[in-house]
Amino acid sequence: MGLTTAWSRAGFLSVLARPTVLRPLVIGVAASLVLFALTAMLLTQTKAKALVGHPEILRPGCTWDVSKNYVQNCKVWSPSQNKFVVVQIRASNGSDKGVYLLDGMRARDDRSAWTTDVQAARVYDGSTDTTLVMPAGGASTFNTDWQGGAGAANTPVKQETFLTSELPAYLQQQFGVSPSNNAIVGISMSAGPAVTLAEKHPEQFRVVQAMSGYYQTDNPLGWLGVFGTQTVVSNYTNGIVNMWGLPGSTAWKDNDASKNLAKLKENGQVLILSSGNAMLTPQEQAKIAPQDQISAILLEALAAASTVLLQLQLKQAGVSVITLPNYGGHDWDNWNRGLTSGRDQLLDVLRKPPVTTKTTVIAANELPDPTTVTSTAATTSEPSTTATSVDERVAQVLAQQSATTTSSGTSTETTVVSGVTGTPQAGSNSASATDSAAPSSTVATGADAPTIDAGTPTTVATPPSAVPSVTPDNLPPCTAEHPVGTPDVPCTPVTVAAG
């Protein structure tokens, strides 16, 4: 005898069939299901919020990297390229700021050199409270969207789409990284593209650091360089046409970092720039094979020349730029020094409101000297209109005394400096820097998750600025009896440097 038959004989089913019994039962079950669904939704939302920052939490589908320092290996799907891209990520401690670190010409598909040749997670340690984003792959692609396929296999390359659309969506969902107000860093092949990506996507990248790059690509020498490097490194013989179309086309101009610098100024973005001096240090000579030392010297010499030319173009465009002194060849020791010395300047930009005024180019390790600031201003400011009479020159002085910022012509200039005291130099690229060690980190062993020393939050001090006063010639000095602003008694105001 079945269970149903037994329940039927016992009258159990007939009882359930009664409206007074069945209706409350159905309502109770439905209410339970609704409550369960709401609870699941709340738990999901709580979990999503908890994953903002939290470097100690391993994200779904990710694995801990052997470099430790809380670096996770994540596979991010790229619909535009129809493949998964390995991205190594170190989450912040709660901030939504991200620092994208692009690899070079010989980038590997399985990991970023920023976790092997340079321990970027130790330079940007826990005290920086930033999420490090280190995409693997992209060798010889110039981090751009190709018009055609790459190589004999015609592999689709949509690096710009991935870096500016697909990856930010993943980072926001899994790591709480904001799609806007981030930083991007590039070296060698990726230095120029890093600047270009910032120019094209100002809402995403507020500050860009470029090291040892080649920025003038839309010219015969640039065309030859792109073709040669892509052919030698990746056997991409069709890149000269399939990447941006025929040389000299509009796409080549659009992706030439040096031809779109005005966009950086318009959007108030900041560029941190450096290159070596093409002289290998003893440490570099010991690390680099003898047959590779010549290329390390020649490549950095070309990068240094391109950087100097870019500095002149930046000054002409009035772009906010910080130049870092560096030395060495075309290698990761050089870029480790650059990443370390540029860290505080980069973080300072991320933590401050955007700057939209024109900025004088001054070396990052130097400050204006108050005793020579008047003569220095004459070489760094734009030329002003020449006065034709004493009255006009006096009016010019009075106007400058009432102004809150130094104005010349129609452009407002602001001096951006950081580092130690010295005399400003336009676009300087000194080789007198010393090698600084990266911050140390604490690493867990065994099956525990990787750990990193949070350290002490970095405080970036704002250096004093000096505002020069321009005075006319052959006027008596101003005194208490004859103050500035007396129309009938013109005088020479005393130049005072603001602290």
Calculate the average pLDDT of the chain. Answer: 76
pLDDT band at 106 (very low <50, low <70, confident <90, very high): very high
What gap in Å lies between CA 322 and CA 365, rounded to an integer?
9
pLDDT band at 92 (very low <50, low <70, confident <90, very high): very high
User: Average pLDDT for residues 394-423, to the nearest whole number?
Assistant: 41
Do the beta carbons of residue 132 and residue 87 sit within 8 Å? no
The candidate with the shortest Cα–Cα distance to 466, out of 374, 379, 332, 383, is: 374
| Domain ranges across the chain | 3-50, 63-362, 469-499
Give CA separation, 169 vs 14, 26, 82, 162, 172, in Å.
57, 42, 16, 10, 5
Do the beta carbons of residue 219 and residue 235 sit within 8 Å? no
pLDDT tens digits, one per residue of 58-83 = 999 999 999 999 999 999 999 999 99
pLDDT tens digits, one per residue of 24-55 = 655 665 666 666 666 555 545 444 454 789 99
Give the fold, CATH level 3, of 63-362. Answer: Rossmann fold (3.40.50)
What gap in Å lies between CA 238 and CA 306, rounded to an integer?
25
Do the beta carbons of residue 230 and residue 209 sit within 8 Å? no
Q: Provide the token pair at 384.
A: 């002003």
pLDDT tens digits, one per residue of 240-293 = 999 999 999 999 999 999 999 999 999 999 999 999 999 999 999 999 999 999
DSSP string, 80-149: TTTEEEEEEEE--SS---EEEE---TT--SS--GGGTTS-HHHHT-GGG--EEEEE---TTSTTSB-SS-
What is the reported pLDDT for 409? 39
271 alpha carbon, distance to own chain's centre: 8
**Does the pLDDT of residue 177 top 70, yes or no?**
yes
**Does the pLDDT of residue 362 top 50, yes or no?**
no
321 alpha carbon, distance to own chain's centre: 13
User: Average pLDDT for residues 481-498, to the nearest whole number?
Assistant: 48
Q: Using a pLDDT cut of 70, give the percent of the chain over it.
A: 61
What is the reported pLDDT for 417? 34
**Does the pLDDT of residue 124 top 90, yes or no?**
yes
The candidate with the shortest Cα–Cα distance to 202, out of 414, 327, 356, 78, is: 356
What gap in Å lies between CA 81 and CA 84, rounded to an integer?
8
On whether the pTM is more than 0.75, the answer is: no
pLDDT tens digits, one per residue of 376-391 = 233 333 333 333 444 4
**Does the pLDDT of residue 216 top 60, yes or no?**
yes
The secondary structure of residue 371, as a DSSP letter, is: T
What gap in Å lies between CA 319 and CA 295, rounded to an integer?
32
What is the reported pLDDT for 36? 62
